[in-house]
Amino acid sequence: MRVRIALDVICVHSYLGYTRFTRAADRLRAEGHLVQVEFLPFELAPGAGTEGAPLLPVLEQVFGPQAVQQTLRFAEQVAAEGLELHYERAVATGTFEAHLLIARAARQGRAEQMVERLFRAHFTDGLHIGDAATLARLAGEAGVTTDGSGSGAAETAPETAAATDRLHGELNRVRRLGITGVPVFFIGDAQPLTGSQSEAVLLSALREAALSASDS
| Residues 52-71 pLDDT 10s | 999 999 999 999 999 999 99
Instruction: Give the pLDDT of residue 149.
Output: 45
How much of the chain, in percent, has pLDDT values that exceed 90? 88
CB 87 within 8 A of CB 76: no
The contacts of residue 184 (CB under 8 Å, 6+ apart) are 5, 6, 7, 40, 192, 193, 194
Instruction: Give the pLDDT of residue 151.
Output: 41
Nearest to 202 by CA among 9, 5, 20: 20
Cα 93 from Cα 61, distance rounded (Å): 15
pTM of the model: 0.92
Backbone angles phi, psi at 148, to 5 degrees: 85, 0
Number of domains, the chain: 1
What range defines the domain where residue 86 resides? 2-215
| Beta-sheet strands, E only, within 28-171 | 36-41, 53-54, 91-92
Nearest to 40 by CA among 140, 176, 212: 176
Instruction: Give the pLDDT of residue 148.
Output: 52
pLDDT confidence bin for 108, thresholds 50/70/90: very high
Instruction: Give the pLDDT of residue 214.
Output: 76
Instruction: Give the pLDDT of residue 146.
Output: 75
Report the CATH number at residue 14. Answer: 3.40.30.10
pLDDT digits (tens, 9 = 90+) for 146-185: 765 444 434 445 568 899 999 999 999 999 999 999 999 9
Cα 23 from Cα 142, distance rounded (Å): 19
